[in-house]
Structure 1
Amino acid sequence: MNVAALLICAALAAAAEPAAVPVPLIFDTDMGNDVDDALALAVIHALESRGEVKLLAVTITKDNRYAAPYVDLVNTFYGRGDVPIGVVRNGKTPEPNNMIRIPVERKNPDGSYVYPRRLMDGSNAPDAVAVLRRVLAAANDGSVVIVQVGFSTNLAALLAADPQLVARKVRLLSAMAGHFPLGAPEFNVKTDIPAAQKVFHEWPTPIVFSGFEIGQALLFPAARIEEDFSWVRDHPVAEAYRNYMRMPYDRPSWDLTAVLYAVRPGRNYFSVSPAGHVTVDEKGQTHFSADPSGRHRYLILGEEQKERTLETLILLASQPRDRAQ
């Protein structure tokens, strides 16, 4: 058996091992700005089907009418249409994107939607901060993991509204944000710099950052979209991928990595930096300073980890909804 086959077998074996207790998880996303958000949501549903996660809510930082209906139809596609969804008010990036608009609007010949859902428009969804506060209040103390893969808008507003609730209920914030150890301003940070500054400075629990460089090193292959998602005729995540850019293209797995670490931190998909502090300057550039007392770390991806990590992400994102592989 060659090395590639051994790595795939290892990825499959690791994927099949359920967690002892499902991780209570909130997904905070700018769904509709890039297709990795859709793939990351698919990974979450695969992990829930494996008994590793309990998706408590999805909150959205993209202020566009199609974002919430798209999240809702993906959740419904995976049999979890009851997951609460909250949307930012007066937020960033209101512009539309075909990756969410086309699946939301697509209809069958009889006029029914190809992808059923509850929400017809983002304006019908409750406020994101209200959803966060309600879901956190109902959770066990020190139990919740939040995966933030968009702007810090919602979490900054949550901190302003109820910092004690965050400190009491959240165990970890896994954030796709920044560029480490030092790089150009990253999109999620520079789109709402004041919010990122507030969250990174005031967040009372540990934060692990998956920087731009991590997802950039793990390109999700277009060929696997066509091959591995073909178990169903109409797949809302594969459809989003095809409508985001002209096919074929391979896209970085930025947001997927934050999910994978949040749920499986001990599987050696990544290494982590020493403890320290991450700050954001006025241009949106992130800076890390080591400090043993700090609550911040960032992911490091070794060359020897890349193939197994990417194969695991592909297997999870494409997992059929009716079984755990």
Structure 2
Amino acid sequence: MPVRILPFLLVMLVCAPLVADEPKSPVPLIFDTDIGNDVDDVLALAMIHSLESRGECDLLGVTITKDSPAAAAFTDAVNTFYGRGDIPIGVCRSDVTPEAGKFLELANQKDNGQLRYPHDLASGKAAPDAVDLLRKILAAAEDQSVVIAQVGFSTNLANLLASPGDQHSPLSGKELVQQKVKLLSVMGGAFTQIPDHKGRYGEYNIIKDLPASRTLAEKWPTPIIWSGYEIGIALPYPHESIENDYGYVPHHPVSEAYYLYSPPPHDRPTWDLTSVLFAVRPDAGDFQLSEPGKVAINEEGHTIFTPQTGGRDRYLILPAGGKKRVIDTLIELSKRPPDASETE
């Protein structure tokens, strides 16, 4: 007796493989960074370019919370090195960490009278205000689509929340975030006991602009995933990669910045890289998540997590035995050459 296949089942059988093979759309990403205060921001930016070359994200803009004019110039130099010198860059004017730091002057380094790392944004003084850029990007985005990786201070995002309607959108900053942002991935705080430290730990990104950090924790309206201090120190970037993997060009901004900041054999913690990795690949299984809850920040800059059903916040947990896998992923993405544009 012949087997009858009902028409709707036939459609399902034919269409199912097509649906399963449909590629994911790139994650619309904003990178908010205090680049120049540490070199892990540079590695994280290199990762973003690698992920974009793989078709996994679309870097909509970079906003900077280090108030040094050299930070924007260096960021533009790195973006240009990776073939994306047109990515918009916004800056804050907060007077928080205004010093140039150890490696930002690479943007002005010249060889035979020519910039070692060509770029056209000479100084943050010529860059737009970060809040204006954030509002412009969000207003043009699809609803509930944008992911923000905040790996510096909360200055820009706290100011965004307080911003009024403008030429980009009649919505307030908080309303605009609620409408357009899907997820905020924050490198900040500490959610376990830190080795060799007594009591709660006041993490750098939180305490350097504490009022902004507290505003963000209190008022941000969309889900937040926190990558605590404990995650980055558990996943040091092997110095052997810096020594061996970036020599495909005579000068590389990532390795040169690393050497200027703290040269090998130093293995730098990967704080900012972990937030970027989760922001773009939340379903990859690299990390586990805490139960839902609410993060509050006290007057000393300590992050306090309270479990709460349906809570806005979760924090990253490194799975047992998962260290090598994550480090290998971070290396592979960070070292990828700028011309490797094929989807892998």
Q: How many Å separate the matches in 2 of 1:276 and 1:18?
A: 34
Structure 2 residue 180 is matched with structure 1 residue 169: yes
Structure 2 residue 33 is matched with structure 1 residue 29: yes
Q: How many Å separate the matches in 1 of 2:86 and 2:228?
A: 31
1:281 aligned partner: 298
Q: How many Å separate the matches in 2 of 1:199 and 1:91?
A: 19
> Aligned ranges for residues 46-61 of structure 1 at < 5 Å?
46-61=50-65
Q: How many Å separate the matches in 1 of 2:73 and 2:100?
A: 13
Correspondence for 1:193 among 190, 210, 218: 210
Q: Report deviation, 1:268.
A: 1.1
- Label 1:232 to 1:18 Cα distance change in 2 as closer, same or farther (>3 A): farther
1:120 aligned partner: 122
TM-score by length of 2: 0.87
Amino acid of the residue matched to residue 221 of structure 2? P
Larger radius of gyration: 2
Contact 2:155 2:212 in 1 (8 A): yes
Residue-by-residue CA offset, 1:241-281 (whole Å, 9 max, x unaligned): 01102432110000000000011111111000000000000
TM-score by length of 1: 0.92
Contact 1:61 1:87 in 2 (8 A): yes
Q: How many Å separate the matches in 1 of 2:23 and 2:136?
A: 26
Contact 1:220 1:310 in 2 (8 A): yes
SS of the aligned residue for 1:92 comes to coil
Q: How many Å separate the matches in 2 of 1:75 and 1:152?
A: 23
Contact 2:162 2:174 in 1 (8 A): yes
Q: How many Å separate the matches in 2 of 1:19 and 1:314?
A: 24
Contact 1:268 1:305 in 2 (8 A): no
Structure 2 residue 93 is matched with structure 1 residue 89: yes
2:264 aligned partner: 247
1:10 aligned partner: none
> Aligned ranges for residues 177-256 of structure 1 at < 5 Å?
177-181=188-192, 183-256=200-273
Deviating above 3 A after TM superposition, structure 1's stretches of 4 or more consecutive aligned residues are none
SS of the aligned residue for 1:297 comes to strand
- Label 1:18 to 1:152 Cα distance change in 2 as closer, same or farther (>3 A): farther
Residue-by-residue CA offset, 1:119-138 (whole Å, 9 max, x unaligned): 11111111100100001111
Residue-by-residue CA offset, 1:72-119 (whole Å, 9 max, x unaligned): 000000110110000001231111212211x1121111x110101111
**Please, which runs of 5 or more residues in structure 2 have no aligned partner?**
1-20, 164-172, 194-199
Contact 2:243 2:264 in 1 (8 A): no
Q: More deviation in 314-323 or 182-191?
A: 182-191
Contact 1:140 1:169 in 2 (8 A): yes
1:149 aligned partner: 151
Give the CA RMSD over aligned residues: 1.3
Q: How many Å separate the matches in 1 of 2:245 and 2:308?
A: 43
